[in-house]
Chain A
Amino acid sequence: DAGVTQSPTHLIKTRGQQVTLRCSPKSGHDTVSWYQQALGQGPQFIFQYYEEEERQRGNFPDRFSGHQFPNYSSELNVNALLLGDSALYLCASSLRLVTEYGYTFGSGTRLTVV
């Protein structure tokens, strides 16, 4: 049973560019959340998608946007990249907004902005 799959695993972009990260949730899961983990820090919540709608959002600017597809997979888009956007981006899936039993996390996409 495949867990959460993220692509690409590593990415290097230039300031001002745009990037799209992709996530396929664990089989049977319908909710996808995105987190940003800066080096040496804990993950910070970006937003969560369920039924193709953004359900909750953390303290991130509008440059960060997302989408969920009918097959529950998700994309994270970041526009006008800044050096400070360099981080590990984690996707996590769960079932029907139920989070108290824990998420299943992917291995992440390491984004470097130069």
Chain B
Amino acid sequence: GDSVTQMEGPVTLSEEAFLTINCTYTATGYPSLFWYVQYPGEGLQLLLKATKADDKGSNKGFEATYRKETTSFHLEKGSVQVSDSAVYFCALLTSGTYKYIFGTGTRLKVLA
């Protein structure tokens, strides 16, 4: 069945460091791909999305490119801030279904 695999955390970075969180997927058809972020004590917030191959989603300095050839959707940010500390979830939605498949999440901790 469909699945999402994320790199295990926690990821600890210094402020202004470059961030990469790896995400790969297995899916039938052509899924839409998403990154959600969860701050402590809160629900999930949509960070960015891409609906077809080679699309680049971007928001708040974060970017991810839908790579069909490598079935990947890695999250990147050029310069992280302490306020980016959170858990990041990669997710897919297969065409014709109404349910997200989430990865297990990657905790990011940014130190001042």
| CB atoms of B44 and A90 under 8 A apart | yes
Q: How many residue pairs between the two chains, A and B, have CB atoms under 8 Å in the bound complex?
A: 59
Mask for A79-114, Cβ within 8 A of B = 1, else 0? Answer: 000000000001010000101111111111000000
A3 → chain B closest CB, angstroms = 8
User: Is B89 in contact with chain A by the CB < 8 A criterion?
Assistant: yes
Q: Which residue of A lies closest to B4 (CB)?
A: A42
List chain A residues, Cβ under 8 A from B89.
Answer: 42-43
Contacts of A97 in B (CB 8 A): 98
CA A43 to CA B4, docked complex, whole Å:
12
Interface presence of A58 (CB below 8 A): yes
Q: Write out the residue numbers on chain B whose beta carbons fall within 8 Å of the beta carbon of A40.
A: 104-105
Complex CA distance for A45 and B99, rounded to whole angstroms: 6
Chain A CB within 8 A of B100 CB: yes
- Find residues 19-53 in chain A having any chain B CB closer than 8 Å to their own CB: 33, 35, 40-45, 48
- Bitwise interface map of B from 78 to 112 toward A, beta carbon under 8 Å scored 1, else 0: 00000000000101010001111111110000000
> Which residues 35-75 in A have Cβ within 8 Å of B in the complex?
35, 40-45, 48, 55-56, 58
Q: Is the CB of B44 within 8 A of A43?
A: yes
Chain B contact residues: helix, strand, loop or mixed: strand
Contact B98 A106 (CB under 8 A): no
Which of the candidate stretches B12-20, B45-53, B63-71 sits at the interface with the other chain?
Answer: B45-53
Q: Which residues does chain A contribute within 8 Å of B45, judged by CB atoms?
A: 105
How far is B45's CA from A40's CA once the two chains are assembled, in angstroms? Answer: 17
Chain A proximity of B93: nearest CB distance (Å): 6
| CB-based contact B98/A99 at 8 Å | yes
Whole-angstrom CA separation of A33 from B100 in the bound complex: 10
Could you tell me the distance between the alpha carbons of A114 and B98 in the complex, rounded to whole angstroms?
A: 33
A binding-site residues for B, Cβ under 8 Å: 4, 33, 35, 40-45, 48, 55-56, 58, 90, 92, 97, 99-108
